[in-house]
């Protein structure tokens, strides 16, 4: 997970290509569901096309069923594997929305909403809940434009 943190820092510092290369290397050596799910989740955000982003978001969700609560608690002892679902489905809802696939966007948005109770009541949980609402509004309005990050 140190490599994932390093990649996030690189991306925030403006080295998107370096972050993507680091994560791609981590993907090649990912040994368990936590790593596959996390690396693919972050790699999706570093893609240059919606199609490539969708591929990585799908790979992140595909890894999820093998993620255990015990492994999730290694990140945060209050987490359970199900706490990953809102973000995984949110990203899929948004990428489908941007590609114009409203049906799939609504399906994944509903899945994200159904799992919101798994989120912690902290800044992370609030961020995901807020993003779910922003994607819902964008889907309902028919927007395919990228959402502007808060901040």
pLDDT, tens digit, for every residue of 29-58?
998 999 999 999 999 999 999 999 999 999
pLDDT exceeding 70 applies to what percent of the chain? 98
Q: Are 140 and 72 in a shared domain? A: yes
**Is position 124 within any domain?**
yes
- Please, which pLDDT band fits residue 150 given cuts at 50, 70 and 90? very low
Mean pLDDT score, 114-141: 95
C-alpha triplet 34, 39, 43: angle, nearest 5°:
155
Q: Which domain holds residue 12?
A: 1-49
Establish if 93 belongs to a structural domain: yes
63 within a domain of the structure (yes/no)? no
Do 34 and 74 share a structural domain?
Answer: no
Q: Over the stretch 56-96, which tens digit does the pLDDT of each residue have? A: 999 999 999 999 999 988 877 877 899 999 999 999 999 99
- Whether 123 is in a domain gets the answer yes
Give the pLDDT score at 149: 62
What is d(CA 32, CA 126) in angstroms, rounded to the nearest whole number? 28
Rounded to an integer, the average pLDDT of 4-28 is 95
Distances (CA, A) of 13 to 19, 36, 41, 93: 10, 24, 19, 27
Q: Are 72 and 126 found together in one domain?
A: yes
Is 7 in the same domain as 37?
yes
In a domain, 57, yes or no: no
Please tell me whether residues 27 and 74 are part of one structural domain.
Answer: no
User: Is 17 part of a structural domain of the chain?
Assistant: yes
Percent of the chain clearing pLDDT 90 (strictly above):
87
- Same domain membership, residue 1 and residue 40: yes
What pTM value is reported for the model? 0.91
Domain assignment present for residue 20? The answer is: yes
- Domains identified in the chain, total number: 2
Position 151 scores a pLDDT of 38
Residue 58 covered by a domain:
no
């Amino acid at each position: 997970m140190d490599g994932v943190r390093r990649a996030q820092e690189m991306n925030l510092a403006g080295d998107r290509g370096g972050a993507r290369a680091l994560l791609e290397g981590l993907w090649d050596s990912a040994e368990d569901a936590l790593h596959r799910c996390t690396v693919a989740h972050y790699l999706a955000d570093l893609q240059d096309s919606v199609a490539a982003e969708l591929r990585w978001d799908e790979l992140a969700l595909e890894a999820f069923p093998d993620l255990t609560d015990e492994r999730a608690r290694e990140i945060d002892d209050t987490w359970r594997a199900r706490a990953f679902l809102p973000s995984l489905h949110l990203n899929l809802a948004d990428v489908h929305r941007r590609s114009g696939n409203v049906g799939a966007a609504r399906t994944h948005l509903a899945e994200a909403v159904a799992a919101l109770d798994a989120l912690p009541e902290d800044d992370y949980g609030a961020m995901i809940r807020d993003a779910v609402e922003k994607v819902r509004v964008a889907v309902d309005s028919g927007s395919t434009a990228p959402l502007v990050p808060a901040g």
